[in-house]
Amino acid sequence: MQAVDFTIALDAMSGDLGPGVVVAAARQALRRHSALGIVLVGDETVLEPLVAAVGDDAAGRLVVRHAAEIVTMNDAPVDALRRKKQSSMRVAVDLVKQGEAQACVSAGNTGALMAIAKFVLKTVQGIDRPAILAEMPARGGSVHMLDLGANADCTAEQLFQFAMMGSVVTGDVRGLENPRVALLNIGEEEIKGDQTVKAAAAMLAASGLNYVGYVEGNGIISGKTDVVVTDGFTGNVALKTMEGTAGFISEMLKAAFTETWLSKLQALAARGVLGRLRARLDPRHYNGASLVGLTGIVVKSHGSADELAFLHAIETAVVEVEHDVPSQIGRLLQREAA
């Protein structure tokens, strides 16, 4: 058996496309990272044949941990937490708590995952609430945004904490020494915004973060900032609006290029450009939202993730493990408090 430096637990039962996708993504991750171990958590009668079918070139680095229950998308977070303690989601998070895994990835119910992770792992000292952070394409690269739905109402202090956590994760994922941080607001002028946003801006301006001021909704993907901070209500609305707009534009382009025989010829001529654009905006390359602020690493995959998308979520967890994100957040909090 090859030496394993760190282990990631995968909730193999919660995705929309079934455990086969998780198993396939796990094998790809093991091929990329020779020191990685993976625990597939779920029904062993389902998982073990899938593991056997893809071969055993991982030298014992892929193991199955049985879990008898599954958290469904219809389960209320409180029910998942209290009544499904043997679910694949709960067991995967428990493995992180017990130190048997350094991170976990799940494509399951977001509310349930957040409730379970917060209850089991608790938050880093100095962090009031965990937040959901995700990467999305932007001009010149990408941008990370938080919170995307965990906290509908936030205080200025909590927005400040989100900014610190976002700066740490963005710096690690994108290799940036001093990520630019902005607050989402209804205008870029200092007089704009409510008292909560203004108070958070004052705290950020006095901090050691690379705070660049306010950004409006049309500036989220402008390339002018690396981290966008907002409350979970506004962040979720902004995210879903951008996803819907991207889908609408895609549908309109497809319709325009298939409307007449001439437009079909134009589409054929532009095939290379359209292919590069499609690859650049492929949401699978940005799958994997981090539940930041917890004492352990938890990554939420999109429920409909295919093999490539789930692999990216695993890669996000790998980066956060390698950089020990929770400890980094704790150290940054201590420096800011000093």
Instruction: Tokens for 304, please give them.
Output: 């409909």
pLDDT at 331: 86
SS3 136: strand
Please give the single-letter amino acid code of residue 212: V
Q: How many residues does the chain have?
A: 338
**The predicted structure's pLDDT at residue 277:** 64
In whole angstroms, give the CA distance from residue 189 to residue 334: 31
Report pLDDT digits (tens) over 229-240.
Answer: 999 999 989 888
Indicate the pLDDT class of residue 158, thresholds 50, 70 and 90: very high
How much is the pTM? 0.89
What span, in angstroms and rounded, lies between the C-alpha atoms of 139 and 277?
Answer: 12
Mean of the per-residue pLDDT values of the chain? 89
Predicted confidence (pLDDT) per residue in 112-150, tens digit: 999 999 999 999 998 999 999 999 888 888 899 998 988
Q: pLDDT digit string (tens) for 256-307?
A: 778 777 777 776 776 676 666 666 666 777 788 999 999 999 999 988 889 9
Q: Check whether the bond before 147 is cis (ω within 30° of 0).
A: yes
What residue ranges define each of the domains in the chain, with the CATH number in brackets? 1-127+293-324 (3.40.718.10), 128-286 (3.40.718.10)
pLDDT of 274: 65
Confidence of residue 84 (pLDDT cuts 50, 70, 90): very high
Sorting pLDDT into bands at 50, 70 and 90, what band is 108?
A: very high
**pLDDT higher than threshold 60 for residue 13:** yes
* Higher-scoring residue by pLDDT: 1, 207: 207
DSSP character for 195? H
Residue 316 has pLDDT above 90, yes or no: yes
Evaluate if residue 45 carries a pLDDT over 80.
yes
What secondary structure does DSSP assign to 40-106, as a single string? EEE-HHHHHHHHHHT--TTTT-EEEEE--B---TTS-HHHHHHH-TTBHHHHHHHHHHTTS-SEEEE
**In the prediction, which pLDDT does 281 show?**
63
Query: What is the structure's pLDDT at 214?
Result: 95
Give percent of the chain above pLDDT 90: 59
Percent pLDDT > 70 in the chain is 93
> Does residue 174 or residue 156 have the better pLDDT?
156
The alpha carbon of 43 is separated from its chain's Cα centroid by a whole number of angstroms, namely: 25
So what's the pLDDT on residue 109? 93
